Structure 1
Amino acid sequence: MAESIRLEVVTPEKSVVSESAQIVVAPGSMGEFGVLTGHTPFLTTLKTGALKFKDESGRERFVFVSSGFAEALPDRVTVLAESAERRKDIDVQRAKSAVERSEKHLQSAGKDVDYLRAKAALLRAISRIQLAETR
């Protein structure tokens, strides 16, 4: 078995993941990055997307993350995300409703609509759906 690192994914509300992993691959704002045991320490921002990791048994796991920060150290990765949820916990119907709401807001652009906020909500919802429906 490969050496493992500790993965912690937390939001302001809760701890989403707290377990050992063989590898962690996250959506950094400058591109996707991977972390193995012994990685050089660094801190980076995250963009909305899928965080992937292999648990100690080698099974691939997925977590949706919406912006935040990741700190990589030789023995652990800590992700502080605005929001996060395991793939199995994603409510696809709720995400589809969010897509519809966001698209309506974007079509109303210029009518007291916060365009950037609506665009970010649309991206989050689409990312959740894509992750939930990928097997």
Structure 2
Amino acid sequence: MLRLRVYTRERQLVDQDVREVTAPGTYGEIGVLPDHAALVTTLEPGVLSYRETDGAVARIEITGGFAEVRDNVMTVLADAGEDIVR
């Protein structure tokens, strides 16, 4: 599994195990699976989506930020973000 943590300035939006994450990178979408190589990147405004352990897909609209992937943990520091209803 991959641990996903998403923070904005105001609050923590996500802290849970997920199967995969797709994020809006500066040069296109970034797909992250368990055991991904270490990575630090900027994020553009767009939709960050992730597949939960039960297979459901959740989405968060972000206004940009940064992401780090290391040791099966993806940490996203978003300028702002809101859950999108599934």
When normalised by structure 1's length, the TM-score is 0.61
**Other-structure match for 2:34:** 37
Pairing of 1:74-85 with structure 2 (within 5 A):
74-85=71-82
Q: Which has the higher contact order (CA 8 A, sep 6+)?
A: 2
The Cα RMSD (Å) is: 1.1
Aligned pair partner of 1:21 in 18, 39, 56: 18
**Other-structure match for 1:57:** 54
1:46: how far off? 0.4
User: Equivalents in 2 of 1:5, 1:57: separation in Å?
Assistant: 13
Structure 1 segments unaligned to the other structure (5+ residues) = 89-134
Structure 2 segments unaligned to the other structure (5+ residues) = none
Q: Which runs of 4+ in 1 moved over 4 A?
A: none
User: Equivalents in 1 of 2:64, 2:76: separation in Å?
Assistant: 10
User: Equivalents in 1 of 2:71, 2:33: separation in Å?
Assistant: 8
Q: State the one-letter code of the partner of 1:77.
A: M
Q: Kindly, what percent of the aligned residue pairs are identical? A: 37
Q: State the one-letter code of the partner of 1:8.
A: R
Number of matched residues?
86
Q: Larger % of strand: which?
A: 2
User: Equivalents in 2 of 1:41, 1:14: separation in Å?
Assistant: 25
Give the structure with higher Rg (CA): 1
SS of the equivalent of 1:33 reads strand
Q: Larger % of helix: which?
A: 1
Deviations 1:79-115 (A, max 9, x none): 0000011102xxxxxxxxxxxxxxxxxxxxxxxxxxx
